[in-house]
A and B are shown apart, each in its own frame.
Chain A
Amino acid sequence: MAEWICRTLRDGGLEGEHAPALTINDTISCPLGSVVFDHILSQLSSFIFCQKSQSNGIVLVALSRSPLYYEQLLKSKGFDVVTSSTWFKILDCYTDPLGWRSKLVESGSIRSLSSGSSLTVNICKNVKDLDELFSSILELGKELSGDGKGRFTVAIDSVSSLLRQTSVSSVAALLTNLRSHGGFPRGNYLRNLRSLEETPQILILVDPKWIWILFFLLIADQVSSLFWLLHLDMHETRATAALEYMSSMKANIEPIFQSVDGPRGNSENLSLMEQNLRSGKFCVRVKRRNGRVRMMFEELSVEKSGIKFTPLSSEDQMTAQSLVPKVQFNLQLSEKERNDRAKVVLPFEHQGNGKTIQIYDGRKSLNDDKAETQHASVQKVDSNRGEIIYFRDSDDEMPDSDEDPDDDLDI
């Protein structure tokens, strides 16, 4: 199923369609999102390297991990770093995202520091300006193909870092713009139209709506596919929901073993915590073209060789394992015990045989009482078992009253 996602991203979008977009979501209890991100990045890299993909290259927006890390990742997967610059570009938003280093270099406090990576990187010095970021991504994308018309994949690590610096609406706009094949940001459309208004003769000759179509044609079909990493618990629900709308595929990484609410020192809790650092449940939700939603589940585990995806094992077994505490006595029920338990008649419960059960409330009428007394006396003679038979002293007595029986006392 993870392979299916990689193939979908590899194949890209059709003509006139939005590019497929994948969001990888994780939480602090199972922080394997970055491992999955690396896996998908490596898979797409090998497709692109073998020229089996719709896109010519990858533009990676590195916000939370350094370009050096990605260089080492490519090396570990067997790619030659020097030649990979032709199909792998990094927009470095990690080394100096707010321009602090540039300010210090200008003032002479420190010397200029490179990103340390031999991959070609463009350094972004202001991640708060998303329009500028968008233009930089497109610029890098154009460099990937010789004629500037080829398609490329965009990977963002991570959108959580972007959301910290800017608003949800700007990030959502950036992602939408990238998905719609790299057309100009909406803000730019208005600015361009306004500049045309200054020369009214053009407005008379050219219908404004044709300008929009012209822009689309010029910059059409650049972004082949898009994927990003998001840490769900770092943001408000509305922010994550807004970004979910931007994506066509959502991959959630959830812990398989939910920690039981209990003392932290509990050894079971600790082993669950450790398991959640190494394995998780991979839930993918895909929105298809016809509107249907498809859900798929897999189990993922991090091993020495890398990440491994396996079909989900029996869910009941897992829940049982996590809920039943490890004690010395047997808490499971055998088949016979389960059957016997099902046969027990519970008191005061509607057994479903059509009759309503009359619950004695101490307010029976005289006739009923007499009938019961007779019945009881007959029973007493016949049965060998002990019974408690209660005869009311008098019918005037108020049975089970809420009033205080000592009310008549004059104290």
Chain B
Amino acid sequence: MANAPPSTLLDEALDGKGAAVFSTSPAPGGRMILVEDCVETSGAFVVHHLLKRCLSPHSSDVVVFLSFAHPFSHYDRILRKMGCNLSVQRDNKRLMFLDMLVLERLGEDFMIRRDRGKTSEDVFIALFGEIQKAVEVCLSHEGRQHITVIIDDVSLMEVDANGSSNLVLDFLHYCYSLTAQLGCSLITLNHDDVYSNEDRPGLLLKLEYLADVVIKVEPLSTGLASDVHGQLTLSNKGIYDGSGKSRNKVHNFHFRIKDSSVEYFYPGSKT
């Protein structure tokens, strides 16, 4: 049996140091991870890392991936460089990829049909139905403990909802309710800087309240650098769990994106 992959600073921050079990979620129920990025530093690499973690051979987790941003081939190419074959995982039923960009073309395979008559709400209700069905089916299989729903990304989902942030929040609430009842985690990506500074508090704040873990990807405060591409701030909210491990922690470290992986290190420790 292959050894567990070396855990990075990001993994340690998510699971806690010295986590005995390599799992996608330490909580029995599940949790929501929100990744926030901006134009200068894209947070997509965090989503890829988490996707690879979920599909690791050491976990029996299943992933439902809702893509509003890129087609399947894009993620396949990136994850292949990281050592994970998405096509094989999809064939093994460990990955369910819902490509929201080409849904009309694949309308025969999916129950969601973008008919002109249907409202955005109906489309989202149907989409939620698909997700819950996938969750139920996966969990009914033996040995399948956990399912993760990944959404890339929320701002494009809002475009699909014709700008209704309320509809997006309703949909995310329903997805979040799956984490409480079934073994399900939710990972979403959103952009910090696409919303204007209005007086009315926006979607971003409401997502931050909803999420259990918030990962902010930002450029360095000191400016551009060739060997450090940005910094990650991870706030792990949540009450003390049964094992006594504190989860109210804030972590900050720098990262460097390489061809096939990402290197995480504490500020100043890069030699």
A contact set with B: CB distance below 8 Å: 28, 31, 35, 65-66, 68-69, 94-95, 97-98, 100-101, 103-104, 107, 109-111, 113, 115-116, 160, 164-165, 231, 233-236, 263-267, 270-271, 273-274, 277-278, 302-304
A171 to chain B: closest CB distance in Å? 15
Contact check: which of B174, B220, B244 meets A265 at CB < 8 Å? B220
**Which residues of chain B from 153 to 208 have any CB-CB distance to chain A below 8 Å in the complex?**
166, 169-170, 173-174, 177, 180-181, 199-201, 205-206, 208
Given the known inter-chain contacts A95-B177, A164-B166, A265-B267, please indicate yes or no for A274 contacting B209, CB distance below 8 A. Answer: no
Assuming the contacts A264-B231, A265-B231, asked whether A277 and B177 have C-beta atoms less than 8 A apart, the reply is: no
| Alpha-carbon separation in the docked complex, A234 to B20 (Å) | 38
In the bound complex, how far is the Cα of B240 from the Cα of A110, in angstroms?
A: 34
| 8 A Cβ contacts from B206-265 to A | 206, 208-209, 216, 218, 220-222, 231, 233, 235, 237, 239-240, 244, 248-250, 252
From the candidates B181, B209, B252, name the one contacting A31 in the complex (CB within 8 A): B209
> Quick check: B201 and A304 within 8 Å, CB to CB?
no
* Chain B residues with CB below 8 A from A116, complex form: 180-181
Q: Give the complex CA separation of A65 and B267 in angstroms.
A: 37
Pairwise interchain contact B239-A110, C-beta atoms closer than 8 A: no
Contacts of A94 in B (CB 8 A): 177, 180
Instruction: Select A304's contact among B200, B233, B240, beta carbons within 8 Å.
Output: B240
C-alpha spacing A95/B176, complex, angstroms: 10
Nearest CB of B to A121, in Å: 13
B173 touches A97 (CB 8 A): yes
Where the two chains meet, the residues of B that have a C-beta atom closer than 8 Å to any C-beta of A are 111, 125-126, 128-130, 132-133, 136, 166, 169-170, 173-174, 177, 180-181, 199-201, 205-206, 208-209, 216, 218, 220-222, 231, 233, 235, 237, 239-240, 244, 248-250, 252, 267
CB pair A274–B133 under 8 Å, yes or no, is no
Instruction: Say yes or no: A66 contacts B181, CB within 8 Å.
Output: yes
Question: Assuming A98-B170, A113-B181, A264-B216, what are 8 further A-B pairs, CB within 8 angstroms?
Answer: A100-B170, A104-B129, A264-B221, A270-B233, A270-B250, A274-B248, A302-B248, A303-B240
Are B209 and A234 interface neighbours, CB within 8 A? Answer: yes
Q: Using Cβ atoms and an 8 Å threshold, which residues of chain A touch B200? A: 236
> Is B218 touching A69 in the complex (CB atoms < 8 A)?
no
Q: Is the CB of B125 within 8 A of A277?
A: no
Can you sample 6 A-B contacts with CB below 8 Å?
A: A66-B177, A97-B170, A101-B174, A116-B181, A164-B166, A264-B221
Q: Which residues of B contact A265 (CB under 8 A)?
A: 220-221, 231, 252, 267
A233 near B181 (CB under 8 angstroms)?
no
Chain B residues near A35 (CB-CB < 8 A): 239
> Given that A28-B205, A28-B208, A103-B125 are known contacts, is A110 also in contact with B132, CB under 8 Å in the complex?
yes
